[in-house]
Each structure stands twice: as structure tokens, then as C-alpha cells.
A and B are shown apart, each in its own frame.
Chain A
Amino acid sequence: MLVEDYLDRACAPLIPSVPYARRRELRAEWRQHLSALIEAYVELGHPRRRAAEKAIRQFGDPRTVAKDWVREWSAPPPDSLLSPAKVALASYTALAGLSLAGLKGMMPGGINGGSALAIPPEVALVTILLLTPAAAGFLMGLLLRGRSVLGSFFGLALTCLLTLTISGIVSPLWDPGGLFAGFQFVLWMPIGCASAAVGQLVRRGVPRLVRRLAD
């Protein structure tokens, strides 16, 4: 079963990133192509086994065929190259705004002159500084195809620069706003990017795990 062995080797690299249904369709397509090549070589007078070997050689190295196909599968459409970065920028900017408002409300005096939040300041700080970028990054990696980690990096970098600039203009760096901007710069970028990478791994790995469990 030369052809099936070849198809096993060609389709294996597709498992982490290509859904099962698409993989099955592609395998069927490649099988038909190879069968047609084999029949053509048999018509030319080659024994069937020799025809299969020639057909496989003409189709190409299975790792190269798989690698090229996965590269196209993973590439976002040309006009959406900026989409992950746009989503990251929008989401992290919104998070930064909400976090600043929450932090301001948490401080004595609050937004309207009184303490606006009832939750303990430590809990609010941990939530704002650690959990929100982690959640946002993870969701990005989970939901977006393509370069979500790169998009996350650019989005975060711009948001952090913006916050740092605004807080530097508005108040000294040792004020809550300035401190927040500093923490954001130091913590959000690695947390957000790492979470996006974890989200991507989950997006690719869960279908594979489900497939293995089903088998």
C-alpha cells in the first residue's frame, strides 16, 4: 500500500493545524491524483508497483508537499494581514481604558470624589494587572487564525506607549496613573503575548486531542 503509506506521511504534519474534515477531503484529492498518475504509468507499460513509485516521486516529497500546504493554510488572506494587530490594538486599548477607570475609581477620592468600587484594592490590582491581559491574549490566540501573537505584540506595544505617554504628560510617574502605565508596560506585553501563544496552542491542539480520544 505505497499510496496509503505516502498519504499517511503527507497528512501527518497537517494534524495539528488542519481540521479533520478538511484533512480527509485533501487526502481523498491527493489519492485520486496519485491513482490517475499510476494508471497513466500502467498504460505506458510499467508494472503497477513501479508505476506507483514513479507517481509518488512525481507528486513530490511528502514532507515538502505537507509543509507547503500548511504554509498556505496558515497564511491569512492578503487583505487581512493587519487584522490580528487591529483586534489586539482595539481590545487592549479598551482594556487599558477600563483598567485606568477602575484604578482611578479604586483610589481614595474615586472618579466622582468618592470610592467607586467595593472590591478590595489588592483584588482589583491583580485583576487589572494580571488577569485582563492574560484573558485578552488567550482569547485572541483562541479565536484568531494567523499571527495572533505578533498582532498581540504590536497592539500591546502601541497601547503601552500610548498609556505611558499620556500618563507622563498628565501626572508624574510615581502617581497611580504613572505607576499603572509602568506596570502595564512591564507586565502586559509578556503576559498578553504569552497568553496569545497559549490560546493558539489550545486552538490547534484541542481538535487533535479530540481526534485521538475518538480513535
Chain B
Amino acid sequence: MDPERELLKGNTPTLVLAVLRDGPLHGYAIAREIERRSDNALRCKEGTLYPALHALERDGLILGGWRKEHGGRERKVYELTPAGTAALQERTRTWARFAAAIENVIGGPDHGDEGAIRPERPHPRPRPTVRPRPLLEPNG
């Protein structure tokens, strides 16, 4: 399976909580908001939102209710509960730690050796300066 899709699937509940932080939304609006905030980078099969919504509602992190809209039509709208707010804060912290750890492992702008994997040291020693090699002399 597509690794990006797997990553998105596992993080869909967190994305839903983040989107609902700014106010109640229905399922379609949640999908659009995730797309908008990610500049269309995060697009999933929208039916997969509903298992995540059900799980979050079951766990008491969001609350769903039917509300009448302007046209008289009823729509199921979800809003964050206090437990959901706390869960979102925790998940945000967890994600920040995880992302930083991944960044440290796979390399970032401060790493001299691109892609090199070094064993973790408690006090990293300064890297020795690498002398540039002399350019090859042209023949003749």
C-alpha cells in the first residue's frame, strides 16, 4: 500500500481534531478544510473520514449532532469536546517530538554527511574538518 496513504490514514483522527478546534463542521467541510490547510497535499478517499469520526465520537473526543441549515436541510455536524481539546494538545506534542526525531535520523540542514546514519552519542564530538581534494590536473 502507498506509504503516504498509510501515514495519512493513521493520522486522520488528529487532523479531524485539529480542524474542529476552530468550530463545528460536517464531514464534507472537514475534508475540504484538511485539503485547504495542507495545500491539497493531504487528499484521502473521503469515505475514510467517517470511521475516524465514529471512533472519535465513541471515545468522547467529538460530539455529533444534527442541525438545520439555511435551506432547511439537516446536516450532521461535529464539534470538539473538552476531552477532545486535551487529546489534540497531547497529540500535537507527540507529533512534534516524533517529527523532530525522524528529522534527526534521516538528516536535516545541519547534518554534514547527507544520508549518513551515525550511532547516537551523549556528547557528540566536533566533526573534523575535511580538506578539499585538489582538482585533477588536465593531461598535457
Please report A residues at the B interface, Cβ cutoff 8 Å: 10, 25-26, 28-30, 32-33, 36-37, 58-62, 64-65, 68-69, 71-73, 75, 77-78
Q: Is the CB of B28 within 8 A of A36?
A: yes
Closest to B60 in A: A77
Q: Is the CB of A29 within 8 A of B54?
A: no
Complex interface: chain A residues within 8 A of B103 (CB): none
Please report B residues at the A interface, Cβ cutoff 8 Å: 26-28, 31, 45-48, 50-52, 54-55, 58-59, 73, 75-76
Known A36-B28, A37-B28: A58·B46 in contact at CB below 8 Å: yes
Rounded to whole Å, the gap between the CB of B71 and the closest CB of chain A is 12
Q: Is the CB of A25 within 8 A of B47?
A: no
Q: Is the CB of A37 within 8 A of B48?
A: no
Q: Is the CB of A10 within 8 A of B55?
A: no
Known A32-B28, A32-B75, A78-B59: A37·B54 in contact at CB below 8 Å: no
Rounded to whole Å, the gap between the CB of A66 and the closest CB of chain B is 9
Q: Is the CB of A68 within 8 A of B51?
A: yes
Complex interface: chain B residues within 8 A of A30 (CB): 47, 50
Picked from A36, A60, A73, A77, the residue with its CB within 8 Å of the CB of B45 is A60
Closest to B43 in A: A58
Known A68-B48, A72-B51: A33·B27 in contact at CB below 8 Å: yes
Known A69-B54, A72-B54: A29·B47 in contact at CB below 8 Å: no
